[in-house]
Copies of this chain bind each other. A is one copy, B any other.
Amino acid sequence: MKVLSKGTVYGLRALVYLATQKDRTGYVSIGEISEKLDISFHFLTKTFQTLTQNGILESYRGPNGGIALNKPAEQIFLLDIVKILEGDDFFDKCLLGLPGCGEFEPCPVHDFWKVAKAALKNEFEITSLAEMGAKVTDERLRLSA
């Protein structure tokens, strides 16, 4: 069950990494993140550009440049990131791919899929980068293979 594209997965992992570095001042270079998480530098760069353009990250060029969260990790939620990287309609898709599937013209699995999507969306809505970062730090979780 592949729910998120590679770009989104990489972006999420990278942002959680940033959240674990909250005590550092200044910017964290993309090169460092790419190395630590074993993600292609150029691919990561593209995802970060999207996140910068959408207000999640702040970037700075030149020596000691890099990226940084544009607001406290407590105020950035999974849903924000996914909406930017996957599109605003991420949680509006029909399981059977039928266009316009909804209350008025449902597909045969609309009822249970609606509930499942709502539950998932809620989790994405309340889970912050800070929470995930703390989990990684406290429980020594990994962010790469």
Binding site for B on A (CB under 8 A): 1-4, 6, 9, 12-13, 16, 78, 86, 90-91, 93, 95-100, 105-109, 112, 116-117, 119-120, 123, 127, 132-133, 135-136, 141-145
Q: Which of B91, B98, B116 contacts A120 (CB 8 A)?
A: B116
Contact in complex: B95, A3 (CB < 8 Å): yes
- With A116-B123, A127-B112 known as contacts, the answer to whether A6 contacts B132 (CB < 8 A) is no
- With A119-B116, A127-B112 known as contacts, the answer to whether A105 contacts B142 (CB < 8 A) is yes
Known: A1-B3, A3-B3, A96-B143. 14 other contacts (CB 8 A): A1-B86, A1-B117, A2-B2, A4-B95, A6-B97, A9-B96, A13-B96, A78-B109, A98-B143, A106-B141, A108-B141, A112-B123, A116-B116, A119-B119
